[in-house]
Structure formats: C-alpha cells, structure tokens
Amino acid sequence: DGGITQSPKYLFRKEGQNVTLSCEQNLNHDAMYWYRQDPGQGLRLIYYSQIVNDFQKGDIAEGYSVSREKKESFPLTVTSAQKNPTAFYLCASSLTGADRGSGETQYFGPGTRLLVL
Amino acid sequence: GENVEQHPSTLSVQEGDSAVIKCTYSDSASNYFPWYKQELGKRPQLIIDIRSNVGEKKDQRIAVTLNKTAKHFSLHITETQPEDSAVYFCAASKETSYDKVIFGPGTSLSVIP
C-alpha cells in the first residue's frame, strides 16, 4: 500500500496534553510532509523535511513540532498550544534530489484522525 | 505567494456523463501537475500527472490537459461511474531539489446512478 504507514489510526487528546503521531516510510524517499485536513477542506501543509536533520515550517506550523532523526521516520507532535487540533492528519513522502524522474509525486499514508476529549 | 485555484468545489453528474475539473496556478515556473483522488476517510492517491513538456495525457477514462501560457490545467473524466465519486485535488510543483507541492482546495464529485 505504498510503503508509508501512520499510527495510530485514531488518537484522542485530553486538554493540555501533547500527543505524537507516527509516520514511517520504507520507500527510501528523501522528503516527508505533514498535512492537516479539516472536514470538506483541502490539504494544508504543517511541516516538511527534505533531508535528515532538517525541516521547514509549512503554512500552519503553530502548535506543532517535528523531528527528522532518521530518513524513514517523521513524527509529528501536536502540542497543547494547538487549540483546535481535531482533524485528519496525513503524512506523505516523495523522491527528491538526483533520483528524481518521477516528478514530485507524493505518496500518502492512511492518515490519523485526532479527536479532542 | 504560490497558489492553486480549483473549480468547481462541488460537481454532480449523471452516471455515464463526463466531468471536468479546472485548476489555475500562479507560479509560472511550475512544471509538474499531479491529480489526486481521495475517497471518504482514505488517503489521497495519484491518478494521473502531466509535465510541462506535454499538452495532454490520457489514461483510459481519465485525461489531463495543460495550457502553460494561460497557466491552467484540467481533469476530464469520461463515462463516469459511481465509483468515481470522491474528492479530487489538483497540484502544482517545480522539479527542483527543494520545492513542495501546492494543492488546490479540492472538488467533491458525485456521480448519480
């Protein structure tokens, strides 16, 4: 199913709590991305990483943090500073650098639905 | 900043009719344009893509056309079927090393049996 996985499928957050969403890929892709999707809306970029140990803020980074210690993994932490975290979170990866040829095709994980208790 | 607009936001067609979704982009350096289909509660999946050196690409019932001068591209679905019902996202990017994809807001397509 594309080699990119997310866990958990559903996550419940209590007020004031930090939670971490997992994203793993075995596609040997350099780039990884986190998107937030609200009901009936498009994809908004939270953070992206083009290479290990480097990441950039997207359009809605406030209240979120990421790390990229390994090529395969790009976890997203939803902090207590994010006041409206209920959404569907999608992780994606793509091939960059000298191995491009397939364009910036992004492969998506199955998503994590975050709900607030 | 970079922007991708998409129209219409919702589209209903009768089974067997054609559906057309149009997108415009702002960055003239964009040269790669993928289309994604997202069924309810599932991940977006690539259905077709086109590069700027090509004006049209077809894959069975799906086709995409690109007009670089006008900075717009369109998705055409012929002989629509109920399983085509989904949200469709267009996107634009530049094939350089460190660029991200800009997605359109999506079109919700309903195919009525």
Read off the pLDDT of residues B85-96 as tens digits, 9 standing for 90 and up: 999 999 998 766
CB contact under 8 A, B97 and A107: no
Is the CB of residue A68 less than 8 Å from the CB of residue A23? no
Contact A104 B44 (CB under 8 A): no
C-alpha A35 chain-centroid distance: 6
- What is the rounded distance in angstroms from the CA atom of residue B50 to the CA atom of residue B104? 16
Examine residue B44 and say whether the peptide bond preceding it is cis (omega within 30 degrees of 0).
no
Contact call for A103 and B34, based on CB within 8 A: yes
Structure tokens at B41: 């509660």
The predicted-structure confidence for B27-44, as pLDDT tens digits, reads as follows 888 888 999 999 988 899
Percent of chain B with pLDDT over 90: 74
d(C-alpha B74, C-alpha B56), whole Å: 10
A vs B: CB pairs below 8 A: 58
- Band of pLDDT at residue A102, cut at 50, 70 and 90: very low
pLDDT band for position B99 (cuts 50, 70, 90): low
Least Cα separation, residue A16 to chain B (angstroms): 27
Half-sphere exposure for B108 (CA within 13 Å, toward CB): 7
> Residue B1: its pLDDT value, please?
67
C-alpha–C-alpha distance, residues B12 and B53, integer Å: 32
Give B108's pLDDT tier (boundaries 50, 70, 90): very high
Greater model confidence, A82 or B94:
A82
Contacts of A88 in chain B (CB under 8 A): 41
